[in-house]
């Protein structure tokens, strides 16, 4: 049920962190993975890691906040493969600062990456999935959608919007055999969070505030992505799978 052999998957933001872990997990279950990001070097490193483990991977460099780059990316995939079975919208941007510290229009950059790019990518990929009567779209949201904290308004708003988009697309694309779900990660010790992950005060806070009492490790996101991308989740759509070690539910 979790076998992805023969499936073609695109993972955005695949060079580092959770995107890389998701790409490795999908490839490990048989998918051919197209790794997307803005920088070639980390994508090539991730692709090499997949190939060394016996998997198949291709590198697709593109800035998904750019309309022409999105169109070129999809045109290249159509020309090379004629299909795309799985899309994981993982690429994200964050701007942690107080409301008054934002420059006019600055929120637009966060929205462009976290919300508009997934919308546009879904719009471009939907015809390929509809034609085959099968598809999986997995959006990487955040626990910052259902909960919030000060100094993070732009990111929280964008991820809440992504959850809404997930449900709307699930309703629209479901009749065509396409499921659309989201994963809401909690605190993961990725490269972007290195400074926080090494802070003993934050570790102590997580120990008391999270059921499992620790940071998540990037590989621990892989199972959720494989599940939602596979036939094991064939009757799951419009769902937000929280992967946070019990942070949201723990008081």
3, 170 in Cβ contact below 8 A? no
Q: Is 101 exposed, middle or buried (0-12, 13-18, 19+ CB in 10 A)?
A: exposed
Cross-strand partners of 32? 8, 56
143, 21 in Cβ contact below 8 A? no
Number of C-beta neighbours around residue 241 at 10 A = 17
What residues act catalytically? 155
Furthest-apart CA atoms within the chain: distance in Å:
52
46, 35 in Cβ contact below 8 A? yes
Please give the DSSP secondary-structure letter assigned to residue 147. S
């Amino acid at each position: 049920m979790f076998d992805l052999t023969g499936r073609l998957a695109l993972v955005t933001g695949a060079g580092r962190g959770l995107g890389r872990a998701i790409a490795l997990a999908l490839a490990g279950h048989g998918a051919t993975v197209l790794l997307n990001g803005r920088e070639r070097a980390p994508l090539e490193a991730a692709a090499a890691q997949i190939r060394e483990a016996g998997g198949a991977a291709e590198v697709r460099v593109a800035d998904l906040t750019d309309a022409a780059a999105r169109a070129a990316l999809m045109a290249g995939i159509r020309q090379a493969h004629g299909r795309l079975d799985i899309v994981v919208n993982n690429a994200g941007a964050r701007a942690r600062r107080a409301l008054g510290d934002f420059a006019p229009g600055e929120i637009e950059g966060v929205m462009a990456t976290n919300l508009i790019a997934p919308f546009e990518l879904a719009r471009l990929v939907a015809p390929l999935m509809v034609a085959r009567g099968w598809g999986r779209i997995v959006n990487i949201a955040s626990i910052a959608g259902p909960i919030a904290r000060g100094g993070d308004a732009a990111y929280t708003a964008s991820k809440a919007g992504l959850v809404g988009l997930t449900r709307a697309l699930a309703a629209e694309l479901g009749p065509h055999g396409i499921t659309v779900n989201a994963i809401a990660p909690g605190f993961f010790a990725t490269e972007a969070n290195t400074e926080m992950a090494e802070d003993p005060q934050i570790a102590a806070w997580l120990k008391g505030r999270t059921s499992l009492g620790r940071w998540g490790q990037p590989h621990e996101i892989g199972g959720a992505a494989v599940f939602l991308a596979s036939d094991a989740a064939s009757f799951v759509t419009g769902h937000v799978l929280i992967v946070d070690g019990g942070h949201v539910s723990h008081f």
